Amino acid sequence: MSRERWLDEALEASDRALFVRRARALRSPSVPELGAILAAADSRPRRNPGIPARKAVLVALSLVAAAAVLCVVAASALTTHERGARAILADEGDASVPLGAAWTSYEPAVCEPGAEETGSDEACVAVPASLLVASSDGIPRACVEPLEPVRHADDFALACKREPEMSSP
Amino acid sequence: MVTVPPLRVLPLPNEPDLAEAVDAEVDDGSWAADAPCDRTALAALYSELAPAVLRFLRDLLGDDALAADALQEAFVRAFRRIETVPRGTRLAGWVFGIARNVSLELRRARGRTRRVLVEEDARLACRVADVRARSPEAQLLDREAVVVVTRALAQLPEDRRAALLLRLDHGLSYDEIARAMGWSLAKVKVEIFRAREVLRATLDAYRGGVP
């Protein structure tokens, strides 16, 4: 036994001695008869041995709480999707365009093809159809001039590219 | 290499019976239930266990009548659930756990948020047993223990007080206290360590204040 442990046990024994003295000093309390306790235990109705009511309530509350959490998560996801749809970025374009010049966000969002502007506080910005690039996530995107949509030869996907300048001889 | 023998109690002058009392409190094998846990086993322990549980409840609730109600409720629950206790469970720890839960329910039911264990020394003096058969010195020491322990307990929050009582007054192991309180073993040790610090500080303050 280490010295620390021995010391700790000695201190605890000293503390415990206080409680022993106290227990001895206090009047011994009178307790109910065992028969009365047993009779009271037998007289109580027994619960259903299946799932206790308390557990059933807890399970039901847990299910309700889980459903509420799912609703909140779904609503949050929808809101995020709508917000994301409003921040429309043009494609980066080719490497010759300085970084930053090609990245431009439309706020409000680019309108769906065929949609009309609805006034000064329009919900979307009309962009010429020639600049629209169909994206895989269904959100309309548009190239920022001077970039233009160019279809890739391999997968026919549209991307924004700078129109190659005509070189003069 | 010098080996130090384990010390169970600190020897006190003119108190040869105290060491036996401490050992009896801590190592009483009758509370260890290797036998099947059934009503017979619990009934056999009742006369021995009930006074200790009542003292525990009185220390937690600070009210004799409330503690008596809690004791009856705790044992009624214990007898109703005794068949669910796994074989080999030490019944004392299990019953103390039930008693502690009952005390919490009673406190909540009565809306008692403040600490209830505040007793005047005068009231304590009335509760001290008739100890005329004991020596005046022993009576004085016992009385001192009542005052010091009660003052220390009054400074402790309910959880910590319960853990300290289960350890020092009722001799439960740390594992049993962890099960009874629903705590981790580490938390039990920390709580009891802090409670013992308060106890020793109270004892020091008491001795410093005695002329």
Tell me the pLDDT tens digit for each residue of A17-34.
999 989 888 877 788 889
pLDDT single digits (tens) A130-161: 666 655 556 666 666 666 666 666 666 666 66
Helices (H), strands (E): how many in chain B? 9, 0
Residue A52, pLDDT above cutoff 50: yes
Mean pLDDT for the stretch of residues A70-98: 60
Interface check for A123 against chain B (CB to CB < 8 A): the answer is: no
Chain B: give the shortest CA distance to residue A23, in Å.
Answer: 8
- The reply to whether B8 touches chain A by the CB within 8 Å rule is yes
DSSP A109-153: EEPPTT----STT-SEE---GGGEE--TTS--EEPPTTEEEEE-T
The residue that leads in pLDDT, B82 or B207, is: B82
Query: How high is the ipTM of this complex?
Result: 0.73
Among A24, A27, A37, beta carbon nearest to B21: A24
Instruction: Determine if residue B171 is left, alpha or beta; phi over 0 gives left, psi from -120 to 50 gives alpha, anything else beta.
Output: left
Amino acid of residue B137: E
By the 8 A CB rule, do A14 and B10 touch?
yes
Confidence band, pLDDT 50/70/90 cuts, at residue A41: confident
* Residue in B closest to A21 by C-alpha: B142
Stretch 5-44 of chain A: residues touching chain B, C-beta under 8 Å: 6, 9-29, 31-32, 34, 36-38, 40-41, 44
Distance CA A82, CA A85 (A): 5
Q: Which of B14-28, B73-87, B106-120, B183-197 is least confident?
A: B14-28
Question: What is the average pLDDT across B51-70?
Answer: 91
Indicate yes or no: CB of A6 within 8 angstroms of CB of B4: yes
Picking from A6, A52, A123, the residue whose alpha carbon sits closest to that of residue B5 is A6
Q: Which chain A residues touch B166 with a CB distance below 8 Å?
A: none
pLDDT higher than 70, residue B115: no
Residues in chain A closer than 8 A to B143 (CB atoms): 25
Q: Is residue B44 pLDDT above 90, yes or no?
A: no
Contact B76 A37 (CB under 8 A): yes
- Selected for mutation to probe chain B from A5, A12, A18 (highest B CB count within 10 Å) is A18
Q: Mean pLDDT check: name the lowest of A20-24, B54-58, B194-198.
A: A20-24
Nearest to A40 among B3, B12, B76 (CB): B76
**The pLDDT of residue A122 is above 90:** no
Q: What radius of gyration, in Å, describes the C-alpha atoms of chain B?
A: 18
For range B182-198, the mean pLDDT: 95
pLDDT (0 to 100) of residue B184: 95
Give the best residue of B132, B142, B147 to mutate against chain A (max A CB count within 10 A). Answer: B142
pLDDT surpasses 60 at B25: no
Higher pLDDT, B15 or B123: B123
A54: confidence class by pLDDT, cuts 50, 70, 90: confident
Query: Is B42 or B14 the better-scoring residue by pLDDT?
Result: B42
CB A87 within 8 A of CB A72: no
The residue type found at A161 is K
- Checking if the pLDDT of B64 tops 80, the result is yes
CA distance A57 to chain B (A): 19
pLDDT tens-digit readout, B149-173: 999 999 999 999 999 999 999 999 9
A17-21, A49-53, B102-106, B171-175: least confident range? A49-53
B99-134: b (≥16 Cβ within 10 Å) or e: bbbbbbebbeeeeeeeebbebeeeebeeebeeeeeb
Residue type, A72: V
Q: Do B169 and A19 touch (CB under 8 A)?
A: yes
The pLDDT, as a whole number, for residue A79 is 72
CB pairs under 8 A between A and B: 127
Residues in chain A: 169
> What's the pLDDT at A51?
61
Task: For residues A37-53, give the mean pLDDT.
Answer: 75
Q: A109: which residues sit within 8 A by CB, 6+ positions away?
A: A85, A86, A87, A88, A123, A124, A125, A139, A140
Mean pLDDT of all residues belonging to chain B? 77
Q: B47 vs A17: CB contact, 8 Å cut-off?
A: no
Which sign does the torsion angle of CA B47, B50, B54, B56 carry? positive
Residue A89 banded pLDDT, cuts 50, 70, 90: very low
pLDDT-derived band at A85 (thresholds 50, 70, 90) equals very low
Coil vs helix vs strand at A78: helix
CB < 8 Å to B95, chain A: none
Q: Output b/e per residue, A133-163; b: 16+ Cβ within 10 A.
A: beeeeebbbbbbeebbbbeeeeeeebbbbbe
Whether the upstream peptide bond of residue A146 has omega within 30° of 0, thus cis, is yes
pLDDT the model gives residue B63: 85
Closest CB to B128: pick one of A13, A25, A36: A25
Query: Is B42 exposed, middle or buried, given 0-12, 13-18 or 19+ CB atoms closer than 10 A?
Result: buried
* Residue type present at position A64: V
Can you tell me the distance from the alpha carbon of B18 to that of B22, in angstroms, rounded to the nearest whole number? 6
Q: For residue B40, count CB atoms less than 10 angstroms from its CB and return exposed for 0-12, middle for 13-18, buried for 19 or more.
A: exposed
pLDDT in the model for residue B33: 46
Query: pTM of the prediction?
Result: 0.57
